[in-house]
Structure formats: structure tokens, C-alpha cells
Amino acid sequence: MRGSNCIKKFSSITDTESYHGEENDLYYYCVYVGKASLIVEPMDSIWYVQDGYVASHRGGEVHSTEMAVVIRGYTPPKRIAEINTCPVLPYINGCATSQLLPPIRIGDPTFQLLSMPPHTSEQAHHIHSTARVVFVYEGSGICEHGSKGHTESMSLEKGDVLIIDKMYPHHFVTEP
């Protein structure tokens, strides 16, 4: 079990690992990084990135090549969306976001695309009320994390997967 207030990084290019969420998280989840053949229970859902698409569905077998998240006991309908990395305006704090797979109900899991152009450093240091799984689809940057005055930097590149605990302060900066 990991301690609260932390961030963990994996590479989908070099790592083949799994990571289980905390028992006290709102949704219990397991993250699979890199290539994995997964059999998902009928009352669980899988969310994954593969071949330029994001998808989620209940149960079944999936051969993931980049990353996948299994959420226990959450069973939304089957959905799929193409990852379109063209900027979506307006930019807020230097970022644009699109909901590729929006939540079914307010507060439910979602699959979002965060676009940050090169040289972006305006994103505010912030927290989320639930854990976040981040996949770097393309590009590179830095994740600044920790309490103000005690931050650390973590480099990010294509294929990296971050797991950010709930209520853990962080923000992203892109490199030139």
C-alpha cells in the first residue's frame, strides 16, 4: 500500500507493470502499463488507449498495447472515441481539454485529452478530489508536484503513465 500524497510514474514503452489503487479511493482500479492480455470480469469495466483510440466497455478480453485501467464494479456502456490532438479552444491556463469519453453521471470516471502547446507554463498548481491516471500520448514536458515551496520536477515523455493520488498538488509544464 502506498502512502497518500504521492505520484508514481511508469513508461508504457519500457515497463510492463500493474498498479492497484487504494482501498479508500472512490473507485477501486488497477492500471496496466505496456502490453497486457487482460480478461475483465463482467461487472467491471476497462478503459484503454490503443491505435489512436480510447475505449471503455464492460468485461471481456482485451489485448492492450499501451495502457489500460480496470475499474471494479463500474459498468458504463461500451464507448469508443478517436484521439484528435488538434488544439481545442479556448485555452485556459495555457491548456485546452476535450472529454473523449465524458462521465455518464457527474463525478463518474471520464477520459479527457489535455492539450498543452510547447512553452506552456501557465497551468495553475492544483489538486483533484479523486485519483488521476495520466497517459502522455505525444510530446514531452514536466510535472511539478508537491506542496508550494517544496515542489519536485518529474520529466515526462511520450508513453509515460502517471498515477496521481487524490488531493496531491501538481501542474504540468511543456518544454520547447
Preceding omega of 90 cis (within 30 degrees of 0)? yes
What residue ranges do the domains of the chain occupy? 7-174
pLDDT of residue 163: 93
Which of 3.40.190.10, 3.40.710.10, 2.60.200.20, 2.60.120.10 is the CATH number of 7-174?
Answer: 2.60.120.10
Q: Give me the mean pLDDT over the 57-62 stretch.
A: 96
Mean pLDDT of 4-26: 84
**pLDDT score at 23:** 82
Checking DSSP bridges between strand 7-11 and strand 160-164, what pairing results, if any?
antiparallel
Query: Nearest-CA neighbor of 84 among 116, 49, 53?
Result: 53
- The predicted pLDDT at position 162 comes to 94
pTM above 0.75, yes or no: yes
Q: What is the pLDDT of residue 16?
A: 85
| CA–CA distance, 93 with 155 (Å, rounded to integer) | 20
Please provide residue 63's backbone torsions phi and psi, each rounded to the nearest 5 degrees: -110, 95
The rounded mean pLDDT for the chain is: 89
